[in-house]
Structure 1
Amino acid sequence: MASDEGTTTRIDSWLWSVRLIKTRSAATTACRAGHVRVNGDRVKAAHAVRGGDEVRLRHGGRERIVVVAKVIRKRVGASVAAECFVDNSPPPPPREETPVAAHRDRGAGRPTKRDRREIEQLMLRGR
C-alpha cells in the first residue's frame, strides 16, 4: 500500500482513498464543479497527483488544504489514510458561529402568517 516516489494516481481516486470524500463519484463531481485544486490549478478528475502536491478541497462547507505524503490507489483504514497526507487546513469554525437555520417540526403543515414572519426574522438575523 505504500508508494514509490514516482507513482501517480487520479485525484478523484486519491481523495476517496484517503477518506477526504465519502464516495469516488462525489470526488468526481467535486472536480467537475471546480472544488478541487492541485498546486493552485483547478483540475479534472483524471488529473495525476504525486507526492508533495498541495490539494485544496472545498467540501462540507469548509476548505481543506492537504499535502500529499503518499500516493495510494485503494481505500485503506482511517489510521493508514491519515498517514498519506499532511493536513494544513484552518480549524473548522466553532458551532456557536454557524448561523441558526429555521426549523419546523415534521407534519406541522403549512406555516401560518405568524410563523412566516418569525422565519423571516431569523433569516434577517443570519445575514
Structure 2
Amino acid sequence: MTWTTRRKRDMAALGMVESSSAAGVARPGEAETRSQQWRSTICAGSFPLEPLRRPAVRWTVRSVLHLHMSDDVKVRLDKWLWASRFFKTRSLATDAIDGGHVHLNGERAKPARSVRIGDLLRIQVPHGEFEVEVMALSDRRGGADIARTLYRETEQSAARREATTLERELAPQFDHPLSKGRPTKKWRRQLHQFDRKQFKD
C-alpha cells in the first residue's frame, strides 16, 4: 500500500476532504502542469500504462557543430585541430603548431592560418604521427565519431602507424618489479656496487 493510498484512507475515516492544492488540481483558468497531471492521476486511483515523457529533441550534426563542406567560412588551424580532437585544448594545439609539430601542405604554419578543404596536414602527437586530408571545416568540438568526418587519413600514414605500433609491442621490455618510483636504499647500494665493480674491471 502506497503512502497516497494510506493517506486517502485515513482522511476518509476522519471525514476529511483533501484540498485541491494538495491533490495537485489546477485552479480555474490555469493549465495543469505535467507534475499536477501525474499527482491528480495518482489521487484518482488510476495509473497510466506508460509514464509521462518529455518530447525528444533531435539535433542535426550540421546545426550543432556548424560543419562546413565548402571554403566559404574561414577556420583557424588551431581551432580545427581542437575540433577534430587531435588536441584536448586550443592552447595545446597552439603550442604544437608553434613547436613545429604541425605542418600544413609540407610547410610550417601559424595558429591563425586558415584551413581549406583539401589541405594536407602532418600532425605529430604523443600517440603517433598522422597525415590527413581536410574533408570539412568546423570550429566546434564534437564527439569522436563526428570528429572523424572532418578529415581522412592517408593510407601511407595508417600503414606507418600500424607498423610503429607493432614494433612497440614486439620490443623487449626491461621493466623491473622494483623499478617503479624512487629507488630504495638497498637498490641504490647495489647500483653503486655494480658501478664500482665495472670501474675496477
State TM-score, norm by structure 1.
0.79
Extract structure 1 runs of 4+ deviating beyond 6 A.
Answer: none
Q: Which whole-Å CA distance do the structure 2 matches of 1:97 and 1:79 have between them?
A: 30
Q: Which runs of 5+ in 1 are unaligned?
A: 119-127
Residue of structure 2 in register with 1:62 after alignment: 128
Q: Is 1:91 equivalent to 2:195 in the alignment?
A: no
Larger Rg: 2
SS in 1 for 2:161: coil
Determine which of 31, 35, 51 is the counterpart of 2:117: 51
Residue of structure 1 in register with 2:188 after alignment: 112
Query: Which stretch has the larger CA shift, 2-11 or 13-22?
Result: 2-11
Identity of aligned residues (%): 32
How many residues get paired?
118
Structure with the higher fraction of residues in strand conformation: 1
SS in 1 for 2:121: strand
Q: Which whole-Å CA distance do the structure 1 matches of 2:175 and 2:80 have between them?
A: 37
Could you report, residue by residue, the CA deviation over 1:62-110 in whole angstroms, capped at 9, with x for unpaired residues? Answer: 3110100000011011111111100122324123245746662235435
What is the one-letter code of the residue matched to 1:74? R
Relative distance call for 1:99 and 1:43 in structure 2 (3 A) is farther
Q: Which whole-Å CA distance do the structure 2 matches of 1:10 and 1:98 have between them?
A: 39
Cα RMSD after superposing both structures: 2.4
Q: CA deviation at 1:30?
A: 0.2
Relative distance call for 1:98 and 1:75 in structure 2 (3 A) is farther
Q: CA deviation at 1:4?
A: 4.0
Determine which of 51, 72, 81 is the counterpart of 1:15: 81
Could you report, residue by residue, the CA deviation over 1:36-69 in whole angstroms, capped at 9, with x for unpaired residues? Answer: 1000110111111011000101111531101000
Q: Which has the higher contact order (CA 8 A, sep 6+)?
A: 1
Determine which of 148, 151, 154 is the counterpart of 1:82: 148
State TM-score, norm by structure 2.
0.52
Relative distance call for 1:101 and 1:32 in structure 2 (3 A) is farther
Structure with the higher fraction of residues in helix conformation: 2
